[in-house]
Protein backbone atom coordinates (compact mmCIF):
# COMPACT_ATOMS: atom_id res chain seq x y z
CA UNK A 1 0.00 0.00 0.00
CA UNK A 2 1.40 3.36 -0.97
CA UNK A 3 0.71 6.58 0.91
CA UNK A 4 -2.96 6.86 1.79
CA UNK A 5 -3.07 10.63 1.24
CA UNK A 6 -4.60 10.18 -2.21
CA UNK A 7 -6.86 7.26 -1.38
CA UNK A 8 -10.55 7.83 -2.27
CA UNK A 9 -13.20 7.96 0.45
CA UNK A 10 -15.15 4.75 1.19
CA UNK A 11 -18.18 4.15 -1.03
CA UNK A 12 -21.54 5.13 0.40
CA UNK A 13 -23.53 2.14 1.65
CA UNK A 14 -20.46 -0.09 1.95
CA UNK A 15 -20.15 -2.12 5.14
CA UNK A 16 -17.48 -0.32 7.17
CA UNK A 17 -15.47 -0.87 10.34
CA UNK A 18 -15.88 1.33 13.38
CA UNK A 19 -13.07 3.72 14.23
CA UNK A 20 -10.12 1.76 15.65
CA UNK A 21 -9.94 1.66 19.41
CA UNK A 22 -6.31 0.57 19.36
CA UNK A 23 -3.70 1.50 16.74
CA UNK A 24 -0.19 0.00 16.82
CA UNK A 25 2.68 1.42 14.77
CA UNK A 26 6.00 -0.03 13.62
CA UNK A 27 7.98 3.20 13.30
CA UNK A 28 10.38 2.32 10.49
CA UNK A 29 12.68 4.37 8.29
CA UNK A 30 14.65 6.65 10.61
CA UNK A 31 18.02 5.40 9.36
CA UNK A 32 17.13 5.54 5.67
CA UNK A 33 15.64 9.00 6.14
CA UNK A 34 18.92 10.21 7.62
CA UNK A 35 21.15 8.54 5.03
CA UNK A 36 19.10 9.98 2.16
CA UNK A 37 19.88 13.45 3.55
CA UNK A 38 23.54 12.79 4.27
CA UNK A 39 22.93 13.05 8.01
CA UNK A 40 24.03 10.79 10.90
CA UNK A 41 21.61 8.08 11.98
CA UNK A 42 20.90 9.93 15.21
CA UNK A 43 19.38 12.79 13.23
CA UNK A 44 16.83 10.34 11.89
CA UNK A 45 15.99 9.12 15.39
CA UNK A 46 15.55 12.71 16.62
CA UNK A 47 13.26 13.49 13.67
CA UNK A 48 11.41 10.25 14.41
CA UNK A 49 10.82 11.39 17.99
CA UNK A 50 9.08 14.49 16.65
CA UNK A 51 6.93 12.25 14.45
CA UNK A 52 5.84 10.45 17.63
CA UNK A 53 4.42 13.74 18.91
CA UNK A 54 2.48 14.20 15.65
CA UNK A 55 1.22 10.61 15.84
CA UNK A 56 -0.01 11.10 19.41
CA UNK A 57 -1.79 14.28 18.33
CA UNK A 58 -3.40 12.43 15.42
CA UNK A 59 -4.56 9.64 17.71
CA UNK A 60 -6.16 12.12 20.10
CA UNK A 61 -7.84 14.07 17.30
CA UNK A 62 -9.31 10.88 15.83
CA UNK A 63 -10.62 9.41 19.08
CA UNK A 64 -8.18 6.50 19.32
CA UNK A 65 -8.00 5.23 22.91
CA UNK A 66 -4.83 3.11 22.76
CA UNK A 67 -1.67 3.74 20.73
CA UNK A 68 1.23 1.28 20.83
CA UNK A 69 4.54 2.34 19.30
CA UNK A 70 7.31 -0.14 18.50
CA UNK A 71 10.13 2.07 19.76
CA UNK A 72 12.95 -0.42 20.44
CA UNK A 73 12.87 -4.09 19.56
CA UNK A 74 14.69 -6.88 21.35
CA UNK A 75 16.78 -7.24 18.17
CA UNK A 76 17.85 -3.58 18.32
CA UNK A 77 20.34 -4.48 21.06
CA UNK A 78 22.46 -6.01 18.28
CA UNK A 79 22.96 -2.64 16.57
CA UNK A 80 26.21 -0.72 16.90
CA UNK A 81 26.93 0.21 20.52
CA UNK A 82 27.01 3.91 19.65
CA UNK A 83 23.54 3.79 18.07
CA UNK A 84 22.09 1.87 21.03
CA UNK A 85 23.62 4.43 23.39
CA UNK A 86 22.17 7.29 21.34
CA UNK A 87 18.73 5.67 21.29
CA UNK A 88 18.64 5.11 25.03
CA UNK A 89 19.91 8.65 25.65
CA UNK A 90 17.13 10.02 23.46
CA UNK A 91 14.57 7.94 25.34
CA UNK A 92 15.95 9.20 28.64
CA UNK A 93 15.71 12.83 27.46
CA UNK A 94 12.07 12.48 26.40
CA UNK A 95 11.08 10.67 29.57
CA UNK A 96 12.76 13.33 31.66
CA UNK A 97 11.63 16.44 29.77
CA UNK A 98 8.59 15.66 27.61
CA UNK A 99 6.32 13.51 29.79
CA UNK A 100 4.77 16.62 31.36
CA UNK A 101 3.51 17.51 27.88
CA UNK A 102 1.81 14.11 27.63
CA UNK A 103 0.37 14.57 31.10
CA UNK A 104 -1.10 17.94 30.11
CA UNK A 105 -2.73 16.23 27.13
CA UNK A 106 -4.30 13.68 29.52
CA UNK A 107 -2.23 10.86 28.01
CA UNK A 108 -1.41 7.83 30.13
CA UNK A 109 2.04 6.34 29.45
CA UNK A 110 2.84 2.64 29.85
CA UNK A 111 5.50 0.21 28.67
CA UNK A 112 5.87 -3.38 27.47
CA UNK A 113 9.04 -5.35 26.82
CA UNK A 114 12.03 -6.69 28.72
CA UNK A 115 12.70 -3.47 30.63
CA UNK A 116 15.27 -5.23 32.83
CA UNK A 117 17.83 -4.77 30.05
CA UNK A 118 17.84 -1.01 30.55
CA UNK A 119 19.93 0.59 33.28
CA UNK A 120 18.39 1.33 36.65
CA UNK A 121 18.23 5.08 36.10
CA UNK A 122 16.27 4.69 32.87
CA UNK A 123 13.88 2.22 34.49
CA UNK A 124 13.29 4.73 37.27
CA UNK A 125 12.46 7.40 34.68
CA UNK A 126 9.91 5.00 33.17
CA UNK A 127 8.31 4.38 36.56
CA UNK A 128 8.09 8.11 37.27
CA UNK A 129 6.45 8.71 33.91
CA UNK A 130 4.03 5.83 34.47
CA UNK A 131 3.12 7.10 37.95
CA UNK A 132 2.66 10.74 36.84
CA UNK A 133 0.26 9.81 34.03
CA UNK A 134 -1.47 6.82 35.63
CA UNK A 135 -4.89 8.43 36.01
CA UNK A 136 -5.13 10.03 32.56
CA UNK A 137 -7.90 8.69 30.35
CA UNK A 138 -7.84 10.48 26.98
CA UNK A 139 -5.29 8.15 25.39
CA UNK A 140 -3.09 5.30 26.62
CA UNK A 141 0.31 5.46 24.91
CA UNK A 142 2.18 2.15 25.16
CA UNK A 143 5.88 2.14 24.26
CA UNK A 144 7.25 -1.26 23.25
CA UNK A 145 10.86 -1.17 24.48
CA UNK A 146 13.28 -4.08 24.26
CA UNK A 147 10.18 -5.89 23.05
CA UNK A 148 9.90 -9.08 21.03
CA UNK A 149 6.60 -10.89 20.55
CA UNK A 150 8.09 -14.39 20.44
CA UNK A 151 9.93 -13.74 23.69
CA UNK A 152 6.74 -12.50 25.35
CA UNK A 153 4.80 -15.57 24.20
CA UNK A 154 7.59 -17.88 25.45
CA UNK A 155 7.74 -16.03 28.78
CA UNK A 156 3.94 -16.23 29.15
CA UNK A 157 4.01 -19.99 28.42
CA UNK A 158 6.77 -20.46 31.01
CA UNK A 159 4.89 -18.45 33.64
CA UNK A 160 1.68 -20.36 32.94
CA UNK A 161 3.51 -23.69 33.21
CA UNK A 162 4.97 -22.64 36.58
CA UNK A 163 1.51 -21.61 37.79
CA UNK A 164 0.12 -24.98 36.73
CA UNK A 165 2.99 -26.82 38.46
CA UNK A 166 2.19 -24.94 41.68
CA UNK A 167 -1.46 -25.89 41.40
CA UNK A 168 -2.53 -22.27 40.90
CA UNK A 169 -4.31 -23.09 37.63
CA UNK A 170 -5.88 -26.26 36.26
CA UNK A 171 -4.15 -27.31 33.00
CA UNK A 172 -7.52 -28.50 31.70
CA UNK A 173 -8.81 -24.93 31.96
CA UNK A 174 -6.11 -23.42 29.75
CA UNK A 175 -7.55 -21.74 26.67
CA UNK A 176 -6.80 -18.62 24.60
CA UNK A 177 -8.37 -16.32 27.16
CA UNK A 178 -6.42 -17.84 30.04
CA UNK A 179 -3.16 -17.66 28.09
CA UNK A 180 -3.72 -14.05 27.08
CA UNK A 181 -3.81 -13.06 30.75
CA UNK A 182 -0.13 -13.97 31.00
CA UNK A 183 0.97 -11.70 28.14
CA UNK A 184 2.37 -8.26 28.90
CA UNK A 185 -0.33 -6.77 26.72
CA UNK A 186 -3.16 -8.30 28.76
CA UNK A 187 -4.29 -4.97 30.29
CA UNK A 188 -4.95 -3.56 26.81
CA UNK A 189 -7.33 -4.53 23.99
CA UNK A 190 -5.86 -6.19 20.92
CA UNK A 191 -4.92 -3.73 18.16
CA UNK A 192 -7.55 -3.05 15.51
CA UNK A 193 -5.00 -1.59 13.11
CA UNK A 194 -1.26 -2.18 12.75
CA UNK A 195 0.67 0.33 10.67
CA UNK A 196 4.22 0.09 9.32
CA UNK A 197 6.00 2.96 7.65
CA UNK A 198 8.93 3.03 5.16
CA UNK A 199 7.45 0.59 2.62
CA UNK A 200 8.40 -2.61 4.46
CA UNK A 201 5.59 -5.19 4.66
CA UNK A 202 6.22 -7.42 7.65
CA UNK A 203 5.45 -7.47 11.38
CA UNK A 204 9.06 -7.98 12.53
CA UNK A 205 8.21 -9.81 15.76
CA UNK A 206 5.63 -7.23 16.87
CA UNK A 207 2.39 -8.20 18.67
CA UNK A 208 2.20 -11.58 16.92
CA UNK A 209 -0.46 -13.08 19.22
CA UNK A 210 -2.43 -9.85 19.51
CA UNK A 211 -2.49 -9.13 15.76
CA UNK A 212 -4.51 -12.23 14.80
CA UNK A 213 -7.45 -10.15 13.50
CA UNK A 214 -5.83 -6.75 13.17
CA UNK A 215 -6.10 -4.81 9.93
CA UNK A 216 -2.71 -4.03 8.38
CA UNK A 217 -1.56 -0.87 6.62
CA UNK A 218 1.83 -0.31 5.00
CA UNK A 219 2.93 3.22 4.12
CA UNK A 220 5.77 4.25 1.81
CA UNK A 221 6.43 7.34 3.95
CA UNK A 222 9.50 7.24 6.18
CA UNK A 223 8.67 7.55 9.87
CA UNK A 224 10.27 11.01 10.37
CA UNK A 225 7.94 12.33 7.64
CA UNK A 226 4.78 10.89 9.21
CA UNK A 227 2.15 13.59 9.85
CA UNK A 228 -1.29 14.08 11.33
CA UNK A 229 -2.60 13.99 7.75
CA UNK A 230 -1.18 10.49 7.33
CA UNK A 231 -2.93 9.43 10.54
CA UNK A 232 -6.24 10.89 9.33
CA UNK A 233 -5.84 9.07 6.00
CA UNK A 234 -5.29 5.81 7.87
CA UNK A 235 -8.52 6.39 9.78
CA UNK A 236 -10.44 7.03 6.56
CA UNK A 237 -9.00 3.88 4.99
CA UNK A 238 -9.83 1.81 8.07
CA UNK A 239 -13.41 3.09 8.02
CA UNK A 240 -13.86 1.55 4.58
CA UNK A 241 -12.72 -1.94 5.52
CA UNK A 242 -14.93 -4.95 6.28
CA UNK A 243 -13.90 -6.74 9.48
CA UNK A 244 -15.34 -10.25 9.32
CA UNK A 245 -13.17 -12.17 11.82
CA UNK A 246 -13.34 -15.25 9.62
CA UNK A 247 -17.11 -14.99 9.06
CA UNK A 248 -18.68 -14.78 5.61
CA UNK A 249 -20.70 -11.68 4.75
CA UNK A 250 -23.95 -11.95 2.82
CA UNK A 251 -24.28 -9.73 -0.28
CA UNK A 252 -26.17 -7.10 1.74
CA UNK A 253 -23.40 -7.00 4.35
CA UNK A 254 -25.25 -9.02 6.98
CA UNK A 255 -23.44 -11.89 8.68
CATH number at residue 94: 3.40.1180.10
Cα separation of 103 and 94, whole Å?
A: 13
Does the residue 13 lie in any domain? Answer: no
252 an active-site residue? no
pTM: 0.89
Does the residue 1 lie in any domain? Answer: no
Which pLDDT score, from 0 to 100, does residue 18 have? Answer: 73
pLDDT at 13 over 60: no
Binding residue numbers for substrate: 29-33, 45, 73-75, 77, 79, 196, 202-204
Does the residue 10 lie in any domain? Answer: no
Host domain of residue 174: 20-238
Does the residue 89 lie in any domain? Answer: yes
Does the residue 133 lie in any domain? Answer: yes
Which pLDDT score, from 0 to 100, does residue 247 have? Answer: 66
> What is the total count of domains within the chain?
1
Catalytically annotated residue among 76, 136, 151, 205: 76
Does the residue 57 lie in any domain? Answer: yes
Which pLDDT score, from 0 to 100, does residue 244 have? Answer: 78
Catalytically annotated residue among 28, 192, 225, 230: 28
The residue-averaged pLDDT of 191-207 equals 97
The residue-averaged pLDDT of 27-44 equals 96
Does the residue 39 lie in any domain? Answer: yes
Which pLDDT score, from 0 to 100, does residue 254 have? Answer: 43
User: Hey, which bits of the chain come out as E strands?
Assistant: 22-26, 66-73, 107-112, 139-147, 193-196, 215-218
Question: Per residue in 69-119, pLDDT tens?
Answer: 999 999 999 998 999 998 999 999 999 999 999 999 999 999 999 999 999
Does the residue 107 lie in any domain? Answer: yes
28 an active-site residue? yes
Amino acid sequence: MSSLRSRPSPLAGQATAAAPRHVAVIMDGNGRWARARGKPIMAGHRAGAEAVRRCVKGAIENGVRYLTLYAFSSENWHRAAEEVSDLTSLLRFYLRHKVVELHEQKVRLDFIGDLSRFDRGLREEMERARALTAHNTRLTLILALSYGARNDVARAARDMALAAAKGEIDPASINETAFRAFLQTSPFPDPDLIVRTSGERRLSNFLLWESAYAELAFLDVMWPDFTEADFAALMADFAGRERRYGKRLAPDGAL
